Amino acid sequence: MQDTAQNEAKDRIYEELDGGAAPADGGADLGRLQNVPVELAVEIGRTRMTIGDALALGIGSVVTVGRLAGDPVDLLVNGRVIARGEVVAIEEELGLRITEIAAPVVEAPPPPPENDEAENPEPGNAGMNPDQEAVPG
């Protein structure tokens, strides 16, 4: 009798959770992610230098970043390029006018797990108890 009551309670919980499931059209419900903070960065370029060169930088130093003036700059979200655009001046601030959305990144599936010796015993030792010693035949 108690098991039936517990199963009914679990069914009610699952029904409540299923009510917030993704839309039937297959689209993801992104509304829940609206307030998740992310870091946006505009990258105008990168360069490499030695620590000595970096320590020698001072006021008025110019660091070249490997891009030509007028080249599009990258917009990154959490370090990943999502778009490109051009730098614009809005009153006294700089902004980015997006001109291109980057293609979505398709990540490779994770590699298969490493094989354990217990799962794949050495040839000739199949079916042995791990506590037994191999006896040469």
Residue 90 lies in a domain: yes
In a domain, 30, yes or no: no
What does pTM read for this prediction?
0.48
**Residue 79 belongs to some domain of the structure:** yes
pLDDT confidence band for 59 (50 / 70 / 90): very high
- Spatial separation of the C-alpha atoms in residues 14 and 11, rounded to whole Å: 5
Contact 25, 57 (CB under 8 A): no
- pLDDT recorded at residue 65: 86
Residue pair 73/87 in contact by the 8 Å Cβ criterion? yes
Domain count, the chain: 1
Residue 120 lies in a domain: no
pLDDT in tens, 27-44: 567 788 889 999 999 988
72-107: pLDDT as tens digits:
899 999 989 999 999 888 888 988 999 999 887 666
Range of the domain at 91: 38-45+66-104
- Let me know if residue 92 belongs to a domain: yes
Residue 97: CATH number of its domain:
2.30.330.10
